[in-house]
Amino acid sequence: MPVAAPSMLSSSFLGSCYSPLVPSPLLERRFVRHLSCRGGARCGLRELPKWSTHPGGCLPSLGHGREFRPSLDLVQFKGRAREVTAQAGISFLLPALGVGVFAWIMAKVLESKALEIIGGGSALNASLLPKLTELEKPYKPYPLLSNRHVETIFATYFRSLPKLTYRRECLTMVDGGTVALDWPQPEVQDPKAVLILLPGLTGGSDDSYVQHFAQRARSKGWAVVVFNSRGCAEAPVTTPQIQSALFTDDMGQVVKHIASLFPSLRVYATGWSVGANILVRYLGQEGESCPLSGAVSLCNVFDLEISSEDFHKGFCRVYNLALAKGLLEMYTKNAHLFKNGGKDFNFPLIENAKTIREFDDGLTRVVFGHKSVDEYYFKASSCRSIKDVRVPLLCVQALTDPIAPERAIPRADCEANPNCLLVITPYGGHLGWVAGPEAPFGCPWTDPLAMQYLEALEEAATDSPGFTKAQEDDGGVELASVSTRKSTERPGLME
């Protein structure tokens, strides 16, 4: 008798499935050992003599979001005499066959993927790449966590929390606004360098990804400080202005202040999401005069207009609502400052905002004097700043990021700028990257790579003869208060 084929499995269950050319085991072993670079550049890996033979020296496009639908036609059993036996055999075979098919599908879905590396041909990056041994490994997501949304949400709620204790310094900016610097305790004695961390939108020193990277940098002998923007991580709001992807003045003052505290050390920075956008905009604005010695950008939104478009599609509406809620809470706690701020804020739109765009239209664009939210997003996007960056910069993006879309990544500008190195992972979600030896509950896959990059920069700078650090003033900031706080609360979704 005929037996119906089981229901087909799709990406909504198995995760965001790719449809690459699946290499043979021999070729796969080659992909594990060899990296391909944009434009056929050899990336300076002296120990890797062979390279991909695909056109342009790159791996075939992986694509994303495609459904994987295997078809399975079972054998038809004929003849009444064998009908009972066939049914008994099917009842035994189907579970085993189902497990086998599922295992085969998962093996294909979670197959190790090569990384896309852009900008490896410059002299700077050619000297750094041999030290970035994390790039020699293929990217393999943790089983059942390859879906872009599952990975993003899992990392938010289930990633472990180091629960660091901080010494908090509240600084008064030149315009009267306030930011909070959190120094993990105990502080490193005789540090080799200083690292500033910039969390994402509405994020701060409580976020698990921030704490994990702070802990790693401290274990390497670096002094670490988390820069909490206005209103974030309970930083006090003292003027009618909260965190903005556009505003870089605070960043400039904070960098100068920290550099003045460590006059003999080089200062670096790492940013995530909107924090990465602020960091890259700052690097571009400073150009040749930038006091930072290097930087890392992770999950940068790059183009706020494109990100805003995707925020209104599908499941991304959940992130949109969550972030808008976080911004609204900041505003509500300090509403009196805005209502007495003397600007034409749209208070009904702000107080009923269900999306980031509505909040930015009612408040943020008004703070900075833009006529429309689209004009504000255009000015605030860091994709146009890459070409002006004059210090070493590592950018790491995920092909499956639902908040920082792949089409917003400025590939051409990264490739054209010899100071930039761009790495794109085949999976990762937003601030997820649940992969690597510490997955699923440990640090993101990016942490070892980012730390290797920073250590390589510091080693190269240390070996450079005649290096003297430029003396910086304190940025004109004033120390408003010092306190101790323990990070024990887990932030909510995308906060």
Catalytic residue (one of 149, 212, 370, 430): 430
Burial 360-386 (b: 16+ CB within 10 A, else e): bbbbbbbbeebeebeebbeebbbbbbb
The dihedral formed by the CA atoms of 310, 315, 316 and 318, expressed in degrees to the nearest 10: 150
The secondary element (H helix, E strand) that includes residue 325 is helix 316-333
Q: How far apart are CA 252 and CA 279, in angstroms?
A: 10
Strand 420-425 relative to strand 478-486, pairing: unpaired
> Is residue 273 among the annotated active site residues?
yes
> Is residue 388 among the annotated active site residues?
no
Among candidate residues 394, 384, 401, the one with its CA nearest the CA of residue 246 = 384
> Is residue 430 among the annotated active site residues?
yes
Q: How far apart are CA 197 and CA 333, in angstroms?
A: 25
Q: Which residue has the tokens 């594990």?
A: 32
Amino acid in the structure at residue 189: Q
Q: How far apart are CA 56 and CA 171, in angstroms?
A: 50
Q: How far apart are CA 230 and CA 203, in angstroms?
A: 11
Catalytic residue (one of 182, 303, 360, 401): 401
For the chain, how many helices (H) and strands (E)? Answer: 17, 10
Catalytic residue (one of 205, 273, 297, 487): 273
Please list the active-site residues. 273, 401, 430
